Amino acid sequence: MASAPHKKSPPLTKRELEVLVWSSKGLSARDIGQMLDIAKRTVDEHVQTATRKLGAANKTEAVAIALRERLIDGVPP
Torsion angle of the four alpha carbons 20, 23, 28, 29, in this order, in degrees rounded to the nearest 10? 0
Q: Give 73's Cβ-side CA count (13 Å radius).
A: 3
pTM for the predicted model, two decimal places:
0.83
pLDDT per position as a tens digit, 34-71:
999 999 999 999 999 999 999 999 999 999 999 999 99
Going by pLDDT thresholds of 50, 70 and 90, the confidence category of residue 73 is confident
13, 21, 53 from 66: Cα distances, Å = 12, 9, 11
Query: Is the CB of residue 66 less than 8 Å from the CB of residue 50?
Result: yes
**Residue 3 clears pLDDT 60, i.e. is over it:** no
Q: Which domains does the chain have, with CATH numbers?
A: 14-68 (1.10.10.10)
